[in-house]
């Protein structure tokens, strides 16, 4: 029986995505990898920073020595503070790339939806996406405040350069409960953002099985909880007088 190859070819061409669609899909995958990669870098910083913060439980001398050491990493190969500035540059680039990828992907997802939902469907995907967006904004605002509070000390009325232990202890003193409250809310927001972000990154990096999905969810929850508890232990320790 003769096959009408022209019709078959036409049908296949109609089904196959246009080259522009293909390119867009490829660039969306690249953006997801960019989000996952920069996210992993930021999580690594968060773990290192949390471990550093926990040194406060070893006393003023140890903590201030650690804060001083941060400024001398890489010496004598590099001049003082150079490593710190390289790290700051890297983190800033990672944050900018992370936000850029998130924004472009969100705009594409919105454009791909032909009509606006009359009622938002209560599916986990859209709930998580909205939480991620607003959670991300809260985390960004928190980091800006936090740097002005404990690094540059611009917003810290009692801050003294070189006295990291005193700065933290006075920042979370009981009289400044509103600062502690703001940190608690922000760090919980960081936790939620990470829980979904870590799971999402694992998926982007190739996880597809149901068992892997369960492990990814449990690991994302465990890692986020460790970070939230580790970070919150410092302001709580100051509030109850364990660090003063
Ligand atoms: C209660 C929890 C936290 C405490 C006690 C704390 C403490 C500190 C201190 C003392 C510094 C200044 C270090 C120095 O200049 O010697 C600092 C810097 C910083 N923290 Fe935190 N931090 C906390 C949570 C966080 C969180 C959750 C994030 C990110 C989401 C974060 C991101 C940063 C960044 C980006 C810097 C600037 C580092 C630099 O100077 O390059 N911190 N933190």
Instruction: Give residue 49 CA to ligand 1 midpoint distance, Å.
Output: 7
Please tell me if the CB atom of residue 189 comes closer than 6 angstroms to any atom of ligand 1: no
Please tell me if the CB atom of residue 146 comes closer than 6 angstroms to any atom of ligand 1: yes
How many beta carbons lie within 10 A of that of residue 195, not counting itself?
22
DSSP letter (8 states) at residue 240: T
Please tell me if the CB atom of residue 172 comes closer than 6 angstroms to any atom of ligand 1: no
Output phi, psi for 123, to 5 deg: -100, 155
Contact 95, 140 (CB under 8 A): yes
Contact 167, 159 (CB under 8 A): yes
Q: What is the pLDDT of residue 231?
A: 98
Q: What is the pLDDT of residue 220?
A: 95
Per-residue pLDDT of the chain (244 residues; tens, 9 = 90+): 444 555 555 555 556 667 777 888 889 999 999 999 999 999 999 999 999 999 999 999 999 999 999 999 999 999 999 999 999 999 999 999 999 999 999 899 888 766 655 555 555 555 667 788 889 999 999 999 999 999 999 998 889 999 999 999 999 999 999 999 999 999 999 999 999 999 999 989 988 899 999 999 999 999 999 999 999 999 999 999 999 9
Q: What is the pLDDT of residue 1?
A: 43
Contact 194, 223 (CB under 8 A): yes
Please tell me if the CB atom of residue 231 comes closer than 6 angstroms to any atom of ligand 1: yes
Q: What is the pLDDT of residue 8?
A: 55
Treating both helix axes as pointing N-terminal to C-terminal, what angle do 19-54 and 177-204 enclose, rounded to 10 degrees?
140
Q: pTM value?
A: 0.88
**CA 73 to centroid of chain Cα atoms:** 24
> Relative to the CA of 167, which ligand 1 atom is closest?
10
Burial of 45 (0-12, 13-18, 19+ CB in 10 A): middle
**Among 92, 146, 231, which is best to mutate for testing ligand 1, by the most ligand atoms less than 8 A from CB?**
146
Please tell me if the CB atom of residue 136 comes closer than 6 angstroms to any atom of ligand 1: no
């Amino acid at each position: 029986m003769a096959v009408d190859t022209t019709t078959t070819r036409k049908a296949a061409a109609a089904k196959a995505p246009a080259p522009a669609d293909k390119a867009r899909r490829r660039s969306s995958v690249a953006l997801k990898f960019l989000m996952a990669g920069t996210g992993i870098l930021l999580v690594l910083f968060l773990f290192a920073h949390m471990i550093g913060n926990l040194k406060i439980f070893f006393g003023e001398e140890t903590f201030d020595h650690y804060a001083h050491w941060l400024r001398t990493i890489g010496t004598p190969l590099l001049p003082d503070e150079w490593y710190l500035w390289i790290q700051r540059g890297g983190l800033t680039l990672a944050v900018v790339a992370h936000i850029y990828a998130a924004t472009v992907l969100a705009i594409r997802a919105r454009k791909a939806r032909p009509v606006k939902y009359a009622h938002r469907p209560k599916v986990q995907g859209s709930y998580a996406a909205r939480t991620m967006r607003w959670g991300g904004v809260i985390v960004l605002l928190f980091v800006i405040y936090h740097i002005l509070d404990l690094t540059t000390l611009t917003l810290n009325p009692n801050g003294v350069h070189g006295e990291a232990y005193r700065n933290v202890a006075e920042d979370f003193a009981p009289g400044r409960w509103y600062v502690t409250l703001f940190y608690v809310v922000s760090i919980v927001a960081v936790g939620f953002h990470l829980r979904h972000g870590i799971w999402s990154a694992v998926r982007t990096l190739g996880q597809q099985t149901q068992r892997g999905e369960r492990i990814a969810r449990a690991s994302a929850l465990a890692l986020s909880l460790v970070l939230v508890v580790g970070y919150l232990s410092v302001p709580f320790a100051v509030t109850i007088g364990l660090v003063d």
